[in-house]
Amino acid sequence: MKKRIVTISREFGSGGRTIGKQLAEKLGVPCYDKELIEKLAEQTGLAKKFIEEQGEYAPASHPFSYAFVGRGVNGLSVSDYLWNEQRKKIQEIAEKEACVIVGRCADYILRERKDVLNVFIHAPKEERAKRIVEVYGETDTEPLKRLRDKDKKRAVNYRYYTDQEWGRAQNYHLTIDSSAFGIEGSVNLLFNILTGEE
C-alpha cells in the first residue's frame, strides 16, 4: 500500500520541522505542526502555548515528572486530557487526507496504519547546537544544555504516553542524519522514497 501519511519525529535542532514542512510543500499536501496546535486550541479551549509545550514535552526532564502533576477527580491531568484530544485529532486527520505530521507521538498514534511512513530525523549535537543558535538565536542557556533539556523532555513524554523509547531506530521505518544529507537532500530523499522518482 502506498504511504500517504508521513510522521516526522526529530531531535531538537535537527531541522526535522523544516524538512517536514518542505516535504509537504513538495508533495502538495498539508503539513500539521503549528496547524495542529491551532486546531487543538480551537477544540479544547486550551492556550496555544500550553499545547505547544505540553503536547510534546514532559513537565520536566525527570522520568517521574508526571507523578507530580495535578489530577482531576477522574484521575486525569490536563496533560492526559490534551494527549487524548491530540490522539483523536491526529487519527481524524489521517482518515481524512494525505499529509505530513510533525512530532506529537504521531508515529505511535498511527502505528496500526499501513499507509504511514514513520521517520526520525537526527544529527550530531555540535551540528544541532549550531543550528538552534542560527534559527532561534542565543539565550542565557548554552546551546548544548538547551538540546539536552528539550530532547530529555520529549523522550520522557514519549515514554509516558507510548511506553516506547523515543529515537530508537526500531520504532521508525527510516532514520535520517540531516547533517549528512542537508535539509534539501533529506527532503529529496524522502520525496523519492514516497513517489518512486529519481
Show Cβ contacts of residue 115 under 8 Å, excluding neighbours closer than 6 positions. Answer: 1, 2, 3, 4, 5
How far apart (Å, rounded) are the C-alpha atoms in residues 40 and 30? 16
C-alpha cell at 154: 520529549
Domain count for the chain, please give it: 1
- pLDDT, tens digit, for every residue of 103-133? 999 999 999 999 999 999 999 999 999 999 9
CATH number of the domain that residue 72 is part of: 3.40.50.300
Strand intervals (E) in the chain = 5-10, 31-32, 99-102, 116-122, 174-177
Residue 54 reports pLDDT greater than 80:
no
Range of the domain at 21: 5-195
- pLDDT, tens digit, for every residue of 162-197? 999 999 999 999 999 999 999 999 999 999 999 986
Q: Can you give the pTM of this predicted structure?
A: 0.87
Question: What pLDDT shows up at residue 61?
Answer: 53
180-185: long-range contacts, CB 8 A cutoff, minimum separation 24: 183/15, 183/18, 183/19, 183/22, 184/22
